[in-house]
A and B are shown apart, each in its own frame.
Chain A
């Protein structure tokens, strides 16, 4: 049995994968009765953990949630239960999704083909403008840059992971944590990870230093890819540039490491290693509301 923490976000879901690994192929019960808050990264992380658990045991893990309506209702609005079909057996009643207008920026969306990326961009073009302008105080044109960020992170799944993934985005009022609104984007896949993607082309030159950390640094800092085409490798670099302009946070978790561009308002190391093994890649982006003295 794996206890889910009360708050499931991009830092607290790390432990899930260690526990899934420790389950050693046994059928897993994810106990979410204490879960009170879950962000996009927590949701896609939970889907990834459930998928690993299912593939190792041969049976979908059981997901148990509290009787409280708010978490289940929110998960339903975010499309979690739809995405979880075939991944989890959900032991608690699932609320029906409202057919009315949704307040969700981008529901959990599987990324398996290029059409999915087009779908994501079409969707956020329609919905993101008001949130970015009214909630975050970004210029009206920011919806284009936001769409490009989503396109590039989703393509990272298709081109480098060679495995399906999920993307989700939503806005939150981080009143206690930051005193500002934020928009969070999360993308996760269970593909080859950065080390796996880059190994054939780049591992030799790093010799025995090659590993998750060097692979993440190679892609994140130096823009290396497995493709010989010199036009490749721009996506992550350009995303970093735009996220920095908005004073945001971007982190990439792959294998046993995490690398990040950390803004002043967030407390986290730029590089972490020796984490529990994440069999794929998770990209997390947090865009904060603009304050008056922002450039």
Chain B
């Protein structure tokens, strides 16, 4: 994964996937088969794009039940965290209305996953179970956008915070491009992409 590839992240409109790719008249993300079909369509687009950062756009989604949240958020993340993942990928869930927070939070807690979400107000949020250290480090990184490796000891003098930074990289809610010696917030990588 080279840094240049981050210049072309893809945005996947889940509402459009639901209505278009699946050829359905459904307007809400309910039932597990619907969630599974949407997830498979997303996985296919991500894998074929060969870009590493994907925005999963939920702006058109008003209702998402727990079965769909499990498929479209939890299982999607797990698919790209597994050792047999089709490629390295990072996700930001965009256009997340307050009404979607509960199902997303519930499935992340159930599967012990972290996700970066961006609300309709544009602010990014870390969701899912995390330690105080992970919360602190993610917030610092989010505020700065990027931290060079040389700055890490200064920004995070305690080893527990540096360990938390490594953990966030592993859990794919922050990014350290190979060979670049820096850490990036996913929102910074998102840049001006809409």
CB pair B111–A230 under 8 Å, yes or no, is: yes
Interface string of B88-114 (1 = CB under 8 A from A): 000000000011001100110011000
CB pair A234–B110 under 8 Å, yes or no, is: yes
In the assembled complex, the Cα of A122 lies from the Cα of B111 at a distance in Å of 29
CB under 8 Å from chain A, chain B span 64-89: 64-67, 70-71, 74-75
On whether A118 and B31 interact (CB within 8 A), knowing A231-B75, A234-B107, the answer reads yes
In the assembled complex, the Cα of A230 lies from the Cα of B75 at a distance in Å of 10
In the assembled complex, the Cα of A231 lies from the Cα of B31 at a distance in Å of 13
CB pair A117–B30 under 8 Å, yes or no, is: yes
| Pairs A–B under 8 Å by Cβ, sample size 17 | A114-B33, A118-B26, A118-B30, A121-B30, A121-B63, A125-B28, A125-B62, A144-B99, A147-B65, A148-B30, A151-B65, A152-B67, A230-B110, A231-B70, A234-B70, A235-B65, A238-B103
Q: In this assembly, does B162 line the interface, its C-beta being within 8 Å of a C-beta of chain A?
A: no
In the assembled complex, the Cα of A117 lies from the Cα of B107 at a distance in Å of 21
Cβ of B64: which chain A residues have Cβ within 8 Å of it?
A: 148
CB pair B28–A231 under 8 Å, yes or no, is: no
CB pair A114–B31 under 8 Å, yes or no, is: yes
Q: What interface size band does chain A fall in?
A: 20 to 34
Q: In this assembly, does B120 line the interface, its C-beta being within 8 Å of a C-beta of chain A?
A: no
In the assembled complex, the Cα of A122 lies from the Cα of B102 at a distance in Å of 20
In the assembled complex, the Cα of A134 lies from the Cα of B59 at a distance in Å of 27
Q: In this assembly, does A141 line the interface, its C-beta being within 8 Å of a C-beta of chain B?
A: yes
CB under 8 Å from chain B, chain A span 122-154: 122, 125, 141, 144-145, 147-148, 151-152
Q: In this assembly, does B49 line the interface, its C-beta being within 8 Å of a C-beta of chain A?
A: no
Cβ of A155: which chain B residues have Cβ within 8 Å of it?
A: 31-32, 65, 67
On whether A147 and B66 interact (CB within 8 A), knowing A141-B99, A230-B111, A234-B107, the answer reads no
Besides A117-B30, A118-B34, A235-B66, 15 other A-B contacts (C-beta < 8 A): A114-B34, A121-B63, A122-B28, A125-B63, A147-B28, A148-B30, A148-B65, A148-B103, A151-B63, A152-B66, A155-B32, A155-B65, A231-B70, A235-B67, A238-B103
